[in-house]
Amino acid sequence: MDLKRYTREDARDIRTLLLDIHDECYADEEDEFHSRERFSEFVDAWSAKDTWACVIGYDGGEPVGYAYGASFSPGGWWRGVDAPEWLTEDTRVFALSELMVVPRWRKTGASEKIHDALFVGRDTHAVTLFVDTAHPKVVALYERWGYYKINESRPFDDAPLYAVMVKELRRL
């Protein structure tokens, strides 16, 4: 699998690809929260951040999946969730907004490779993410990768209930 890195400057060029992969991953989902239109709002908001980073995996030129997010601003944290004190004191916390792998590539190790590639060369001490609590197998996958749950959140009225998870990359 080839892994390619992208920044905010590349966002416009890969936007449609991100949305197409999202559509493939959520093809059976009927909830409006997971619609292409709603997701495009999140892609646009996240990719506008100065620290936005994205890794897309390709196999033979075909997309396998991607991960993207951005560093929190100093003192920044997820809306509606109290941050652990040790995280509020550090400015090197990365918010992993999305990790998606097309269905035929699931359970191949591709998601972990894409995930890990996102942090290569970054001065990041911790990564945090939301995982839909209706998917305990996904929560367990992140736990195997070293994440642990610190809270739960429903950041929008129409959003699912998420487990707020953190992984320390380097001890502070």
Domains and CATH numbers, the chain: 2-168 (3.40.630.30)
Overall pTM > 0.85: yes
Which amino acid, one-letter code, is at 48? A
DSSP 8-state class, residue 19: H
Rg (CA), the chain: 15
CA distances from 50 to 8, 39, 136 (A): 6, 20, 33
Q: Please list the pLDDT of the chain residue by residue as tens digits (172 residues).
A: 999 999 999 999 999 999 999 999 998 888 888 889 999 999 999 999 999 999 999 999 999 999 999 998 777 778 778 777 766 665 688 999 999 999 999 999 999 999 999 999 888 888 999 999 999 999 999 999 999 999 998 888 888 899 999 998 864 3
DSSP 8-state class, residue 85: H
* Phi, psi dihedrals of residue 57, rounded to the nearest 5°: -95, 140
